[in-house]
Amino acid sequence: MTMAASIVPARRKPKGKVTLAHGGGGKAMRDLVEGVFVEAFGMGEAPLEDQARLVPPEALLSGGRLAMTTDGFVVDPLFFPGGDIGKLAVWGTVNDLAVGGAIPHWLSVSMIIEEGLDIEVLERVADSMREAADLAGVRIVTGDTKVVARGGADKLFVTTAGVGVIPAGRDLGAHLVQPGDVALVNGYLGRHGAAILAARGEMMLETAIESDCAPLNGLMEAVLSAAPRTRCARDATRGGLASLLNEVAAASGTGFAIEEARLPLEAEIRGFCEVLGFDPLYLANEGRLAVFVPPDQADAALAAMRDHDHGREAAVIGQVTKGPAGRVVMNTAFGGSRIVDMLVGDQLPRIC
Partner 1 sequence: MKYIDEFRDPALAKNLFRRIESLVGPAGGTKEKPLQIMEICGGHTHAIFRYGLDKLVPAALEFVHGPGCPVCVLPMSRVDDCIEIAERENVIFCTFGDAMRVPGTRKSLMQAKAEGCDIRMVYSPLDALELARRNPDRDVVFFGLGFETTMPATAVTIRKAAADGQTNFSVFCNHILVPPPLRALLSDPQMRLDGFVGPGHVSMIIGTEPYRFIAEEFGKPLVVAGFEPLDLLQAIVMVLQQLAEGRAEIENQYARVVPANGNPHAMAAIEAVYEPRSSFDWRGLGEIDRSGVKIRPDYAAYDAEVKFCVGYGAGKAAGREPEGCRCGDVVKGLIKPPACPKFGGECVPERPLGALMVSSEGACAAYYQYGGTRREEAA
Q: Which chain residues interact with partner 1 by CB under 8 A?
A: 202-203, 267, 270-271, 274, 324, 329, 332-339, 341, 344-346
Nearest distance from residue 10's CB to partner 1, in Å?
42
- H helix or E strand, kind and range, residue 61: helix 58-61
Nearest distance from residue 201's CB to partner 1, in Å?
11
Nearest distance from residue 259's CB to partner 1, in Å?
13
Distance, in Å, from the CA atom of 143 to the CA atom of 264, rounded to the nearest integer, reads 38
Angle between helices 298-306 and 217-226 (to 10 degrees): 140
Nearest distance from residue 265's CB to partner 1, in Å?
9
Closer to partner 1 by Cβ: residue 303 or 348: 348
Closer to partner 1 by Cβ: residue 63 or 334: 334
Cα angle at 333 between 270 and 342, to 5 degrees?
Answer: 65
Sheet holding 328-331, edge to edge: 232-235, 289-293, 182-185, 315-321, 255-259, 328-331, 337-339
Nearest distance from residue 203's CB to partner 1, in Å?
7
Q: Which residues pair with 326 in a beta bridge?
A: none
Closer to partner 1 by Cβ: residue 168 or 333: 333
Nearest distance from residue 273's CB to partner 1, in Å?
10
User: Which residues have CB under 8 Å from 48's CB, separation 6+?
Assistant: 3, 4, 7, 38
74 neighbors 347 (Cβ within 8 angstroms): no
- First-to-last alpha carbon distance for the chain, in angstroms, is 26
Cα separation values, 5 from 93, 147, 201, 303, Å: 24, 16, 40, 48
Phi–psi pair at 111, nearest 5 degrees: -115, 130
Closer to partner 1 by Cβ: residue 11 or 270: 270
Closer to partner 1 by Cβ: residue 135 or 329: 329
Closer to partner 1 by Cβ: residue 14 or 240: 240
Q: Which residues pair with 150 in a beta bridge?
A: none
Nearest distance from residue 335's CB to partner 1, in Å?
5
Closer to partner 1 by Cβ: residue 47 or 349: 349
